[in-house]
């Protein structure tokens, strides 16, 4: 299945990511705005398939090009600009969605407009072992739990902060991943140790306890669990479709 914003988009092989990304960046040529791949798109695996392509662009670059100071206005102008280039677009929250051609089909590209995009992209670049049941979100959840245990707060869109007496975000500490690794995992750690859930767990003495706590989070669903859910949804939709056809034939 493709993304859920546009009708008729398809999932795509990771071998097509470079071509899809080039199409989007070609539409932005001359603006100073660059779409940077994140998540699985940042470390594509040919043969693996995705339903949409996640990229980020820098908020300052968007506002500078369109000469606006309001982020909402900047996202709207980016949406309209890409639309004027002949693409179907849509907006939701901080995202601009683009329907991009790929081969004889089309794919959904989700452009997140964020501050300090080049640095933030590193937070969402992973080194996940082949066959892993975990995704980038699992890495982020583990980092959040570890940070909280240390009286800190991890923001996947800004970096590491202190935590104030109210348990809220305090002073900014750093956005350097090597420094963040030392703060969360201890001396001798580096950004590499934060590149996957497996690498994080390998650095934690009580990793079983940490994993058990993480699994209680409502957002913690493994790849296998999501596959089961997806198959169940497909089967349900197929049954509904057949029932509707039967009703129409009567």
Q: Per residue of the chain (250 residues), give pLDDT as tens.
A: 556 899 889 999 999 999 999 999 999 999 999 999 998 889 888 888 889 999 999 999 999 999 999 999 999 999 999 999 999 999 998 899 999 999 899 999 999 999 999 999 999 999 888 888 998 999 999 999 999 999 999 999 999 999 999 999 999 999 999 999 999 999 999 999 999 999 999 999 989 999 999 999 988 887 555 544 444 444 444 544 544 544 444 4
Half-sphere exposure of residue 168: CA atoms within 13 angstroms, side-chain side? 1
pLDDT of residue 142: 96
Give residue 224's pLDDT. 52
DSSP 194: G
Its pTM stands at 0.80
For strand 105-114 and strand 52-58, is the pairing parallel, antiparallel, or unpaired? parallel
Identify any residues that bridge with 17 across adjacent strands, giving them in sequence order: none
Contact 6, 97 (CB under 8 A): yes
The C-alpha atoms of residue 144 and residue 217 are separated, in whole angstroms, by 11
Residue 11, SS3 per DSSP: coil
Distance CA 47, CA 231 (A): 20
* Residue 188 exposure: Cα atoms within 13 Å on the Cβ side: 2
Query: Phi/psi class of residue 223: alpha, beta or left (left: φ > 0; alpha: ψ in -120 to 50)?
Result: alpha
CB 144 within 8 Å of CB 154: yes
pLDDT of residue 103: 87
What pLDDT is stored for residue 18 in this prediction? 95
Per-residue pLDDT, 2:
56
């Amino acid at each position: 299945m493709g993304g859920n914003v546009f009708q008729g988009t398809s999932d795509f092989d990771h071998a097509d990511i470079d071509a899809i990304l080039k199409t989007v960046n070609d539409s932005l040529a001359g603006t100073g705005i660059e779409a940077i791949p994140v998540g699985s798109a940042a470390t594509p695996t040919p043969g693996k398939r995705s339903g949409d392509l996640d990229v980020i662009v820098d908020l300052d670059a968007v506002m500078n090009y369109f000469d606006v100071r309001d982020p909402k206005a900047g996202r709207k102008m980016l949406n309209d600009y890409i639309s004027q280039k002949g693409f179907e677009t849509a907006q939701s929250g901080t995202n601009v969605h683009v329907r991009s051609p790929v081969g004889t089909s089309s794919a959904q590209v989700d452009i997140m407009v964020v501050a300090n995009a080049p640095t933030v992209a590193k937070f969402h670049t992973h080194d996940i072992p082949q066959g892993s049941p975990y995704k980038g979100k699992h890495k982020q959840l583990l980092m959040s739990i570890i940070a909280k245990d240390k009286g800190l707060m991890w923001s996947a869109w800004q970096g590491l902060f202190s935590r104030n007496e109210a348990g809220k975000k305090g002073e900014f500490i750093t956005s350097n991943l090597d420094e963040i690794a030392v703060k969360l995992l201890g001396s001798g750690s580096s950004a590499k140790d934060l590149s996957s859930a497996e690498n994080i767990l390998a650095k934690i003495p009580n990793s079983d306890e940490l994993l058990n706590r993480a699994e209680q989070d409502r957002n913690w669903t493994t790849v296998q669990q999501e596959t089961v859910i997806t198959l169940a949804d497909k089967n349900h939709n197929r049954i509904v479709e057949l029932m509707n056809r039967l009703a129409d034939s009567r």
